[in-house]
Structure 1
Amino acid sequence: MSVEANTVPSRYAARLLEQASAAGCDAEALLAEVGLSSSDLQSKDVIPSLKYGELYQLVMRKTHDEWFGMFSAGKVPLGAFRIMCLTLLQCSTLRQVIIRAGEFAEICRGMNTRYYLEENALEAAITLRPVNHISEAEFQQKLDEAKPVHLLTAVLTWHRFAEWLVASDLPIKHVLVTYDNTHTEESLVYTEVKSILFEQPYNGIVYDTACLDLPVVQNEENLLNFLRTAPYHLVTEDPAHIRFADKVRNILKKDVSASMPSSDEVASQLHMSTTTLRRKLQNDNTSYQRLKDECRMEAAFHLLNCADLSNNEIAQKLGFDEPSAFFRSFKKWTGQTPGEYRAR
């Protein structure tokens, strides 16, 4: 018995596979490894978001590029994002985060672009610039070769990551892009942007300067939950069209341990009765228990890829009283034991 997952449009996977094929990957083999086929993409409008997440992470591993699908002007080695996050968690404000992220890019192999901060009394612009060892001419060539959707995705992925760090909405004043407005290819992220300024000198994003003083509130414990789906959820989530079930799921995935909130607690956070919560979830063809299982399964996929964690430690982090209970649940979710999943 599998858990019914939230979904993303099948075209997301089709686009990802096109990019992966261009990078030398076997698209059919990638699909088979996550339990999908090309006919699934052709015959279905949506696929489970967990399958898309598995596919995205698989492509990153096969291409050895953790920034796959986002503009970095190079290949970013696996593990770089985690190390960068650990570094940025030590910052006190968003301003310091931007500066330190730029410093990290200067020493990270493959990350040939960095975030650069310019601010005045009213506005702060965070723009993509070349690292010091890349010439302006080389960087411009990379920009010319990049797809507009990858440039925009890189900018807005940063925006969503910044919002996570400060646990607060960051109102966007403008998004800056170097390309012209004749590029109308569909983006996963256009819907949340109210103002895009085309043919600008740089690609970036503009906030009110006051946003830079927001404190970093996340910690290393929260980071583990965040990393289990990064970065694909930063690319695909669309806050303008989020379902009720997704809102509940976003609450649950903040803590997948034994202290995961009950349905009563979630209903209270959403200012409604438990009966209303259940009815709304039923309207989205799911349930509280199903979402709870899905969040734990999603976390399990990430944790099982952490070689320094034993299966028993993972069971504990997921809130299971006994490792055997975790093994039984994982077998029910996936048809495999945790050991078989790790071996695959």
Structure 2
Amino acid sequence: MPLDIPLQQPQYSKGTISIALVREALIAAENKGLDTAQILEQANISTELLQSDKARVSVSAYAQLWIILADQMNDEFFGMDQHPMRRGSYQLLSRMVMHAENIKQALQQILQFLNMVLDDIHGRLALEKDQAVLILEDRAEPKRMFSYATYLMLLHGLICWLAEQRIVIHAIHLKCEAPVDDLDYKIRFCKKIYYQAAEHRIVFDADCLAIKIKQDQSTWHQFIQDTPQNLLIRFTNPHALSSRIRKHLLQVHPADWMELSALAQRLNMSEATIQRRLKQEGVSYQQLKNDIRRDTAIELLSKSEKSLLTISDELNFQDASAFHRAFKKWTGVSPGAYRNLTTP
């Protein structure tokens, strides 16, 4: 590309969702006899993507799937409880709890509401020294991880919005068996997720309970308008090194992304320290870059008419063939095939 032509900054994606979670979301609908092929078509998700374990869909597509399922089942918990969470329940809950004094009071009200609406899961808040622990109890046998993750996403997303910051979860202990792939869960909630535990426990700092509510009626309308997409986009820990690096990467064109040695100098850290801290957060510098390029490519392929060569250039691949190889490695399908599967 000529040096006198400025690089076009790609419109970075807000993220993608594993196809495994698409399959999970459809299970109850299939059990109820709904036409899941038609539901996927309405959400602009190809049924053929279900065959590729590495495939991913845009957050906007998954959010649309969420809405369609909730509408068709009249259940915002997607048929995973004996008692449906009727459409509009979450809107009512969020409007109610924004009048709480602090996160503790809001969390207690959220649990009271969910305990009244749902039959199979009962939640309570416990304090253990400097830790707050959300304890969930099952009416019957443990459910799938997806059920608890959905419950937690509704709850955690709401209190993060109320606090206007991430409420950091330190550990999640669940009685259920581990899913085949829990990477998206670890990215959304926390790295430390343990399965086949003695009880369901979600652990975070007790100090968070004293955070004052920072939302009101004027901000509530936007929150509801953006739901569920805002719940799916992870509330990152702004103090995590990976979050700081990701924020920097999103501000510049991929051609200007630093080598690790240059980044280490900028952050006044050694390369070894950066690698160690990122490893503790379950990621690497290369993975951060790959994830941004992958998610942005998925967004551009499904929502724009840009050529594969243009997308390749925007994401700073050496050529279109390099982009083709990388995308197929990330998702299991070629970029051209992905576009054909996701474009109406």
TM-score range, shorter chain: 0.5 to 0.7
1:233-291 CA-partner distances (Å, limit 9, x unpaired): 53464848xxxxx99xxxxxxxxxxxxxxxxxxxxxx789xxx946359996799xx99
Q: Are 2:94 and 1:99 equivalent residues in the alignment?
A: no
**2:132/2:203 contact within 8 Å kept:** yes
Q: Counterpart in 1 of 2:181?
A: 186
Shift of 1:75: 1.2
Q: Distance in 2 between matches of 1:88 and 1:281?
A: 45
Matched with 1:65 is 75
Per the alignment, residue 37 of structure 2 pairs with 28
Distance 1:72 1:19 in 2: 10
Per the TM alignment, residue 223 of structure 1 is displaced from its structure 2 partner at its CA by 2.1
2:66 is the counterpart of 1:56: yes
SS at match of 2:162: helix
- Percent identity between the two aligned chains: 17
Q: Is 1:88–1:101's contact at 8 Å kept on the other side of the alignment?
A: yes
CA RMSD of aligned residues (A): 3.9
Helix, strand or coil at the partner of 1:173: strand
Where do 1:141-290 residues align within 5 Å? 141=140, 143-144=141-142, 146-179=143-176, 183-187=178-182, 188-191=184-187, 192-231=189-228, 233-235=230-232, 237=234, 239=236, 277=251, 279=253
User: Given residue 195 of structure 1, which amino acid in structure 2 is its aligned partner?
Assistant: K
Post-superposition offset of 1:175: 1.5
Q: In the alignment, what sits opposite 1:123? A: 131
- Residues 94, 158 of structure 2: 8 Å contact kept: no
Unaligned runs of 5+ in 2: 1-10, 238-242, 258-291, 304-344
Distance 1:213 1:67 in 2: 29
Matched-pair contact (CA < 8 Å) for 1:123–1:209:
yes
- TM-score by length of structure 1 reads 0.58
In the alignment, structure 1 segments of 5+ residues that lack a partner are 130-138, 241-245, 248-269, 295-344
Q: After the TM superposition, which of the residue ranges 94-103 and 17-26 deviates more from structure 2?
A: 17-26
- Cα gap change, 1:54 to 1:98, in 2 (>3 Å): same
Structure with more contact order per residue of length (Cα contacts < 8 Å, sep ≥ 6): 2
1:17-45 per-residue CA deviation (whole Å, 9 max, x = no partner) reads 34421232101111232344323555793
Distance, in Å, in 2 between the alignment partners of 1:41 and 1:149 is 17
**Could you tell me how far 1:173 is from its partner in structure 2?**
2.9
Cα distance in 2 for residues equivalent to 1:152 and 1:234: 12
| In 2: Cα distance, 1:235 partner to 1:50 partner | 9
* Contact 2:145-2:179 at 8 Å conserved across structures: no
TM-score by length of 2: 0.58
| Cα separation, 1, equivalents of 2:174 and 2:31 | 24
Contact between 1:189 and 1:238, CA under 8 Å: does it hold in 2?
Answer: no
Could you say which residue in structure 2 is the equivalent of 1:84? 93
Matched positions, count: 244
Using a 3 Å threshold, how does the CA distance of structure 1 residues 239 and 115 change in structure 2: closer, same or farther?
A: same
Q: CA deviation at 1:53?
A: 1.4
Task: Give the match for residue 140 of structure 1.
Answer: 139
Distance 2:78 2:105 in 1: 26
Give distance in 1, aligned partners of 2:235 and 2:101.
28
Distance in 1 (alpha carbons) for counterparts of 2:155 and 2:218: 21
Indicate conservation of the 8 Å contact 1:31/1:55, yes or no.
Answer: yes
